[in-house]
């Protein structure tokens, strides 16, 4: 393949915007990747260019410079959440494919605008929901979509992470960037999985507290879906790292536990318990689900395969996130905007949705 934005050997050339902790993790994950390569970096802080130079990467402080660069075929956004909507739409207008770190947006209106901009300009939109791409979750999604677990009644997601020392003015601590405490950093991954399994949410109830730090560190969410199923999401800063997803149906239940943070994965444990049987546990070997998500983005941009997270799922996840933010402030049950326009997901619909590479 030899076209604008791609290398001679078919790699998608990307610019990474945002050289904080996660931007550097992304760049490290893409070293020597056969499908995607970093050709430019962007950060408004000039000092970030010193690190970029140690990696042999071009650096700019102006995002628009990357959008105007003909050798750049896509952008990866590791920027503050409040900037995502504008940056995604700008990239789409510049005909650049977009991989946006989660959350895609902070409001359903912005998520819809981002999706429409990418569709109108014929570019791929991908999101940093890497937990979709771990092999254990791929198997769970196949079980759900094949009806193996029966009617899904309850989904649980528990995500915890030890408190990291951050300056008081760090953007990740600002209410405008994290409207429901740890939800945008942790809980959003659980919400994405719940939407993948249950379809659009109908209403949410969230309870948030500051128990071990000045930050809003403890969040519990009850989500009701149009399908009639429910989900419980626990998103907590303080305890050591843990991520656990569990799905309960009338024919059986399945649970997956991460051993370590996706920055340095060590594999996963999946336990399955079917009616009339006994619990069975399978151990999954190490792989990089971060890299797998980015490669799925590159495959979609090159036309090799559709990106496995649908536009509708992206919008439904942000619609629920917006409602969670409102509920965590008001203490009330909050309806999900747009739920009245969406239909409950059916098993037949799920069978047509790809689960990943």
Strands 230-237 and 152-161: parallel
* Mean of the per-residue pLDDT values of the chain: 92
Q: How far does CA 310 lie from the centroid of its chain? A: 12
**Strand 242-249 and strand 230-237: pairing?**
unpaired
- pLDDT tens digits, 128-160: 999 999 999 999 999 999 999 999 999 999 999
> Quick one: pLDDT at residue 1?
39
pLDDT digits (tens, 9 = 90+) for 326-344: 999 999 999 999 876 666 6
pLDDT of residue 216: 87
Predicted confidence (pLDDT) per residue in 34-84, tens digit: 999 999 999 999 999 999 999 999 999 999 999 999 999 999 999 999 999
Tell me the C-alpha distance between 238 and 304, whole Å. 42
Q: What is the pTM of this model?
A: 0.93
What's the rounded mean pLDDT across residues 283-290? Answer: 96
pLDDT at 352: 43
């Amino acid at each position: 393949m030899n076209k604008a934005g791609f290398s001679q050997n078919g790699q998608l050339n990307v610019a990474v915007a945002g050289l904080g902790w996660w931007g550097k993790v992304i760049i490290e994950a893409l070293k020597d990747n056969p499908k995607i390569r970093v050709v430019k970096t962007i950060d408004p802080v000039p000092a970030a260019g010193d690190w970029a130079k140690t990696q042999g990467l071009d650096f700019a402080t102006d995002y628009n410079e990357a959008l105007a660069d003909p050798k750049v075929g896509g952008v990866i956004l590791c920027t503050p959440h409040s900037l995502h909507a504008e940056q995604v739409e700008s990239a789409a207008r510049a005909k650049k494919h977009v991989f946006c770190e989660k959350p895609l947006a902070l409001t359903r209106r912005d998520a819809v605008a981002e999706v429409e901009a990418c569709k109108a300009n014929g570019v791929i939109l991908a999101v940093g929901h890497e937990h979709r791409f771990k092999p254990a979750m791929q198997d769970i999604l196949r079980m759900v979509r094949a009806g193996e677990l029966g009617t899904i009644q309850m989904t649980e997601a528990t995500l915890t992470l030890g408190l990291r020392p951050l300056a008081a003015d760090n953007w990740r601590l600002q209410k405008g960037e994290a409207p429901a405490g740890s939800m945008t950093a942790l809980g959003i991954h659980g919400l994405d999985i719940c939407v993948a399994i249950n379809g659009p949410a109908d209403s949410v109830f969230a309870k948030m507290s500051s128990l071990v730090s000045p930050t809003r560190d403890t969040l519990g969410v009850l989500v009701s879906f149009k399908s009639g199923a429910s989900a419980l999401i626990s998103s907590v800063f303080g305890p050591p790292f843990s991520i656990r997803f569990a799905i309960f149906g009338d024919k059986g239940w399945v649970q997956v536990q991460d051993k370590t943070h996706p920055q340095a994965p060590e594999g996963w444990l999946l336990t399955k318990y079917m009616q009339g049987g006994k619990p069975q546990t399978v151990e999954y070997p190490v792989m990089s689900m971060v890299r797998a998500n980015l490669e799925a983005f590159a495959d979609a941009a090159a036309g090799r395969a559709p990106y496995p997270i649908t536009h509708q799922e992206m919008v439904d996840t942000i619609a629920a996130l917006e409602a969670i933010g409102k509920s965590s402030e008001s203490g009330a049950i909050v309806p999900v905007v747009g739920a009245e326009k969406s239909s409950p997901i059916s098993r037949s619909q799920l069978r047509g949705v790809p689960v990943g590479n």
